[in-house]
Chains A and B, each alone.
Chain A
Amino acid sequence: MSVIYDPIHWTPHKRLYDRLMLAFVAGYLILFGGLQLVFHPQITAETLTIRATGTLAFLMLHVILCIGPLCRLDRRFLPLLYNRRHLGVTMFMVALTHGVFNLVQFHALGNADPLVSLFTSNTQFGSLVRFPFQSLGFFALIMLFLMAATSHDFWLKNLTPPVWKALHMGVYVAYAMLVMHVMLGVIQLEKSPVLIGLTGAGVVAVLGLHLAAAVKQARTDGGARRYAAKGIPDGFVYACDVADIPENRAKMLIIGGENIALFKYDDKLSAIHNLCKHQNGPLSEGKIIDGCITCPWHGYQYLPENGQSPPPFHEQVCTYDVQVAGTKVYVNPTPYPEGTARPPARITLATL
């Protein structure tokens, strides 16, 4: 969390993350290159570079796509998510190397501009087997570029989170194109069942983890749904018992379409919108630290009484009214404008 736009707001964690990531990249390239030279000494430097960078970028994309659902399934994976954008930008650079080498190798030094050649050397778009797979890689690379270029809070702020998020969800479109790029390209030449199996295993891993995370999220959402009961005045809806919420933690509620995080702290209860302004992180999975609700994804913070980030930060989320009757907690799902101060509900000794 930073009030100014540093190119990179370095933290010890980010430094360690980047060192490990670069070691991973270098290690893979050395290992892959070494194995190729041992088992296939006839390989050319160009082919070695193309295959090493292509497989590495594809592998990194799988890791990137698996981190999200892994964190939904087990929040102890969150340190992998924290600096994932560096992993994404590095993956793009590796993919760009692959793309440039391919463009030069297969399309340069000919009787057409390389980019013209890319789209005119093979125009059999109507055939699956003969499909011009390189164009799929090109468009996927463009999408990865857009994501890498906007992978900074400056763009998140200026594009607005919904637009930024929608743009970055394009990674799934890029992934689908790259799977087809591989299947309609090199797999048409290298027909080993092992290589086909590896590609398939990657797809199954990505889809399986996303499916498992979606099922878990649906269960969580289902458990969080509350419905208005008769006899409750002023639009308040029963949320839970006071004892259901651990101290300095929250309970997620979905009431009438509103996604709410209900926090308990210092014998008080406050409710704010559940989605962090930064990247829609689930604030209900956060914790109150130093008096601030802290998002589990990137550490953005909000004051529970008014949904405002503490100065000098400017992020704000909606707030809601909370009431306590006995040990029962009620929430009014009508949101107040972002950053509106609402008095917390007091948990008295009589309540407990």
Chain B
Amino acid sequence: MQDDSEFYIGWQAEAPAGFARRVRQFLFALCLLVPAVAALIVLFQSGFAGSTFEYGKKTELSGRYSRHPFPFLTVENGTDASGKRITQKILLVAPGKFGFTTGPEMSVEDGSMVTVTGFLIYHDGKTALEVRSINKRNQVAAEAVLRSSDPGSGSVTLRGEITDPKCLLGVMKPGFGKPHRDCAARCIAGGIPPVLKVANAQGETEYYLIAGPGGEMLNDRLLEFVGDGVQLCGRIGQESDWLVLYTDPSTIQRIHRESLNPGNTCN
């Protein structure tokens, strides 16, 4: 029951006992409720990938620079057990939400040997580099770093989400999903190659850089599908440790996210 004899005025120094007691009860309830809410939010969110963006830690790499289908730096990474050279392709991106497709660095000839410094971004066996400087070297590229596989003739259908590889590999967490959609659109509009994130039933994830049938950039064509569940048909090629999906953008279909599952061969 409320005590009608008590009357509270904010500008008085002391609140009546009944009012003070009720406020203390309210604050006590908040002290229980708020930590519980904070804990539930933290414990029931889906977590974050162990991806890495080495921002501020410069790495210098030497290798062959190629522009097609995407800006890659191909570096030698030792030899395998049979003595064969192992190469790795590192996707080059510019600072901010830009691809390595414009600016003075593009004066470096396609196929030339270069030394690049920048910040590494890596996750799930894929590596990108946010380039801070690139310098041409007077050196002939070894045969091993020139190699890339042609896309196969068989078509596949893949279902997944289109995002940008820079954020996905570690610049942002999460680098996919609805909250990241606008950022991915801005990155892809800025020239960063789109990537299709495909998860299988076992929870394993594969990433496919997306290019047109002839290797042309599809960034503008894909913008409206960024962040959505989509189905794409095309041929798969391999650029060292990167997979590339060569697709006709007219085949893109928007699907429910719940329908995302491993792809089937196109009929």
Chain A residues with a Cβ under 8 A of chain B: 1, 11-14, 20, 24, 27-28, 31-32, 35-36, 39-40, 42-44, 46-47, 51, 55, 59, 63, 70, 74-80, 82-83, 105-112, 117-118, 121-122, 124, 130, 132-134, 184-186, 188-192, 194-195, 198, 246, 249, 286-287, 289, 294, 296, 298-299
Give min CB distance, A45 to chain B, whole Å. 10
Instruction: Give the 6 A-B residue pairs with the shortest CB-CB distance, closest first.
Output: A109-B96, A82-B10, A76-B22, A110-B97, A188-B178, A121-B182
Residue of B nearest to A55 (CB): B41
Report A-chain residues with C-beta under 8 Å of the C-beta of B44.
190, 192, 194-195
Task: Give bound CA distance, A112 to B188, whole Å.
Answer: 12
**B20 near A79 (CB under 8 angstroms)?**
yes
Contact of B11 among A1, A35, A107, A188 (CB under 8 A): A1
Contact of A47 among B22, B48, B97, B189 (CB under 8 A): B48
Task: Give bound CA distance, A46 to B22, whole Å.
Answer: 38
Tally the A-B contacts, defined by beta carbons under 8 Å.
Answer: 178
Give min CB distance, B118 to chain A, whole Å. 15
Given pairs A35-B43, A47-B172, A82-B8, 11 additional interface contacts (CB within 8 A): A31-B35, A40-B48, A76-B18, A77-B26, A79-B10, A109-B97, A118-B182, A185-B179, A188-B178, A296-B8, A299-B10
Report A-chain residues with C-beta under 8 Å of the C-beta of B96.
108-110
Residue of A nearest to B228 (CB): A130
Instruction: Mark each residue of chain B from 167 to 180: 1 if its CB lies under 8 Å from any CB of chain A, else 0.
Output: 00000111001111
Report A-chain residues with C-beta under 8 Å of the C-beta of B38.
28, 31-32, 35, 55
**B11 near A13 (CB under 8 angstroms)?**
yes
**B26 near A117 (CB under 8 angstroms)?**
no
**B20 near A35 (CB under 8 angstroms)?**
no
Decide yes or no: A32 and B41 within 8 Å by CB, A110-B187, A111-B189 being known contacts.
yes
14 contacts between A and B (CB under 8 A): A11-B10, A31-B34, A40-B47, A44-B48, A46-B172, A47-B172, A70-B26, A75-B8, A77-B22, A107-B182, A109-B97, A111-B97, A191-B46, A289-B7
User: Does B92 count as interface, using CB distance less than 8 angstroms?
Assistant: no
By the criterion of a CB under 8 Å from any partner CB, how many residues of chain B are at the interface? 59
Give min CB distance, B192 to chain A, whole Å. 10
Give min CB distance, A224 to chain B, whole Å. 17
**A12 near B228 (CB under 8 angstroms)?**
no
Report B-chain residues with C-beta under 8 Å of the C-beta of A27.
34
**B228 near A44 (CB under 8 angstroms)?**
no
Task: Give bound CA distance, A14 to B27, whole Å.
Answer: 16
- Which of A36, A42, A296, A298: most chain B Cβ within 10 A? A42
